[in-house]
Structure 1
Amino acid sequence: MALPIEDRVRSFAFYRDGLGFRAVGEPAADGVPEPLRFAVNDGLTLMLVPTGGFGWVLGGRETAAPGVSECVLGLDAASPSEVDALLARAEAAGAAVVSAPARQPWGYSGSFADPDGHLWLVEAPPEG
């Protein structure tokens, strides 16, 4: 998965500190791995590409403007308290909470926008 970003250092700090993702690769001169990648889980790596260089990923298609979302990214949590904690950490690291955590028919969830406006839904299964 790849997402466009405006600021490598800001995004590095957000995903490392706010979401607790593990960076992959050796740091470049600015202290940020190049390419900037994070291990999300055992089977998924997230690459963050500066907006100016994102064109190669899109094959010439236009990058969506900040605040325009074509998808919502999902993060699973084990419990409602884990959803609350992850949203709180993300907000403290610079995210904007879009929907406060709440019980839904499908479980317990809340969403936030990262510093570049990408939407994330954090969800725990229904209590049973």
Structure 2
Amino acid sequence: MDQRISFVTLAVADLDATRAFYLDGLGWRAELDVPGEVLMIRAGAQLVLSLWDAGAFEREVGPIVRGDGVAPITLAHNVPHRAEVDEVLAVAAAAGAEVAPAEDRDWGGYTGYFADPDGFRWEIAWNPGPIGRLVLGEEQ
């Protein structure tokens, strides 16, 4: 098996609200948009973020675990400059996201979080280390 991820699929409660957040709010562009079913957004050279209506997701994959708390997954968007963390968080806030302000982290980076309409947490990160350079395509 090749070492790669092709799709990240998230089940969403309200696909219209999700579409408005990602396309109108964040300014992203859909690769495939099937109202009432799925919204697919290119998230990398060979990576698609698939936002799937929860009912359709459950019919194919199985019951969704529900309950209080944060979903046990985060998505990350790394930026090359520290100031961009706050800029991206401001865009997310303007789009209606719940935002946790950025902070300096013990490991040397600077990160903050926002939640999309379904509560999925996005980490916005400036990572000055080797992994940060790797994900930005700057590895040496």
TM-score of the alignment, normalized to the shorter chain, above 0.5: yes
- Please give the residue correspondences for 1:76-87 in structure 2 after superposition, counting only pairs within 5 Å: 76-87=78-89
Asked which structure has the greater CA Rg, the reply is 2
Q: Distance in 2 between the 1:49 and 1:65 partners?
A: 19
1:65 shift after superposition:
4.0
Q: Distance in 2 between the 1:66 and 1:5 partners?
A: 16
1:74 shift after superposition:
0.8
**TM-score with structure 2 length normalisation?**
0.74
Output one character per residue of 1:11-42: Cα deviation in whole Å (capped at 9) or x when no partner. 112112333322113x55xxx59631111121
Please name the residue that 2:13 is paired with: 6
CA RMSD across the alignment: 2.3
| 1:33–1:64 distance in 2 versus 1, CA, 3 Å | closer
Task: Say which SS state the counterpart of residue 81 (structure 1) adopts.
Answer: helix
Q: Distance in 1 between the 2:48 and 2:127 partners?
A: 23
Please name the residue that 1:114 is paired with: 116
Gaps of 5+ in 2: 1-7, 130-140
Q: Answer whether contact 1:6 1:51 (CA < 8 A) is retained.
A: yes
Please name the residue that 2:103 is paired with: 102
Q: 1:72 aligns with which of 71, 74, 87?
A: 74
Gaps of 5+ in 1: none
Q: Distance in 2 between the 1:47 and 1:79 partners?
A: 28
Percent of aligned positions that are identical:
36
Residue 37 in structure 1 maps to residue 40 in structure 2: yes
Q: Distance in 2 between the 1:13 and 1:35 partners?
A: 13
Q: Distance in 2 between the 1:76 and 1:19 partners?
A: 15
| 1:81–1:12 distance in 2 versus 1, CA, 3 Å | same
Query: How many residue pairs end up in the alignment?
Result: 121
Task: Say which SS state the counterpart of residue 117 (structure 1) adopts.
Answer: coil
One-letter amino acid of the counterpart of residue 2, structure 1: T
Q: 1:18 aligns with which of 18, 25, 28?
A: 25
Task: Say which SS state the counterpart of residue 80 (structure 2) adopts.
Answer: coil
Q: Distance in 1 between the 2:29 and 2:103 partners?
A: 28
